[in-house]
Structure 1
Amino acid sequence: MTHRMAIIGLGIMGRRMLENALQHPAFEVCGVWDPSDASVAKTLETLPGVTLAPNAQAAMAGADVVYLACPPGPRKTYALQAAAAGQGVFMEKPLGTDNAQSRDLVAQLRQARLPGVVNFTQAASRGFEELNRAIAAGETGELLGIDIVVNYPAWPRAWQKDAGWLRLRDEGGYTREVISHFLFLAGRFLGPLTLQQALPRYPKDPALCELDMLARLTNADGKPVTIMATTGGQQPDRQEVTVRGSRMNFQFREFYQLWRSDGGPWVEALDWRNEDPRTSALQRQLTEVDLWLRGQSHKLATAEEALAVQELVEAMLVGKS
Structure 2
Amino acid sequence: MSVKTAVIGLGIMGRRMAEHMALHPGFTPVALWDPDPAACRAALAIAPGAFVTKTPEEAIAVADLVYLACPPVPRKAYALAAADAGKSLFLEKPLGVDVAESKALVAHLEKRGVPAAVNFTQAAGTALSGVNEAALAGTMGDIVGADIVVTYAAWPREWQKAADWLRFKGEGGPTREVISHFLFFSERILGELSIVWARPSYPSDARLCETQMLARLETHSGRPVSIMVSVGGAQPDLQELTIKGSRSSRRISEFYIDQASDGGPFVEIAERPKDPRATSLKAQLDDLLLCMAGKPNRLATLSEALRVQILVEQMLSGQS
Shorter-chain TM band: over 0.9
Deviations, residues 83-124 of structure 1 (Å, cap 9, x unaligned): 001101110011111111110001001111324210001000
- Aligned equivalents of 1:168, 1:213: Cα separation in 2: 15
- Aligned equivalents of 1:49, 1:291: Cα separation in 2: 24
Deviations, residues 205-243 of structure 1 (Å, cap 9, x unaligned): 110000100000000110000001100000000100000
Identity of aligned residues (%): 52
Residues 193 and 135 (structure 1), Cα distance of their counterparts in 2 relative to 1, 3 Å cut: same
Q: CA deviation at 1:52?
A: 1.7
- Aligned equivalents of 1:216, 1:264: Cα separation in 2: 25
1:257, 1:277 within 8 Å by CA — same for their partners in 2? no
**Structure 1 stretch 208-217 or stretch 37-46: which is displaced more?**
37-46
Residues 47 and 84 (structure 1), Cα distance of their counterparts in 2 relative to 1, 3 Å cut: closer
Letter paired with 1:98: D
Deviations, residues 252-272 of structure 1 (Å, cap 9, x unaligned): 111111111112222112212
- Aligned equivalents of 1:205, 1:218: Cα separation in 2: 32
Aligned to 1:87: 87
Q: CA deviation at 1:38?
A: 3.1
Aligned to 2:233: 233
Q: CA deviation at 1:203?
A: 0.5
- Aligned equivalents of 2:87, 2:115: Cα separation in 1: 10
Give the alignment's Cα RMSD to 1 decimal: 1.3
Runs of 4+ residues over 6 Å off in structure 1: none
- Aligned equivalents of 2:114, 2:209: Cα separation in 1: 34
TM-score, normalised with respect to structure 2: 0.97
Letter paired with 1:51: F
1:184, 1:306 within 8 Å by CA — same for their partners in 2? yes
- Aligned equivalents of 1:127, 1:239: Cα separation in 2: 14
Deviations, residues 116-135 of structure 1 (Å, cap 9, x unaligned): 21000100001112112222
- Aligned equivalents of 1:42, 1:257: Cα separation in 2: 30
Q: How does 1:288-303 map to 2 (within 5 A)?
A: 288-303=287-302
- Aligned equivalents of 2:32, 2:96: Cα separation in 1: 21
Aligned to 1:57: 57
- Aligned equivalents of 2:304, 2:115: Cα separation in 1: 12
Aligned to 1:12: 12
Q: CA deviation at 1:50?
A: 4.0
Gaps of 5+ in 2: none
2:152, 2:235 within 8 Å by CA — same for their partners in 1? yes
Question: Size of the alignment, in residue pairs?
Answer: 320
3-state SS of paired residue (1:301): coil
- Aligned equivalents of 1:39, 1:183: Cα separation in 2: 31
Letter paired with 1:320: Q
TM-score, normalised with respect to structure 1: 0.97
- Aligned equivalents of 1:61, 1:47: Cα separation in 2: 19
Aligned to 2:78: 78
- Aligned equivalents of 1:75, 1:295: Cα separation in 2: 24
3-state SS of paired residue (2:90): strand
Letter paired with 1:231: V
Q: CA deviation at 1:55?
A: 1.8
Letter paired with 1:77: A
Q: CA deviation at 1:51?
A: 2.2
- Aligned equivalents of 1:221, 1:113: Cα separation in 2: 33
Q: CA deviation at 1:49?
A: 5.1
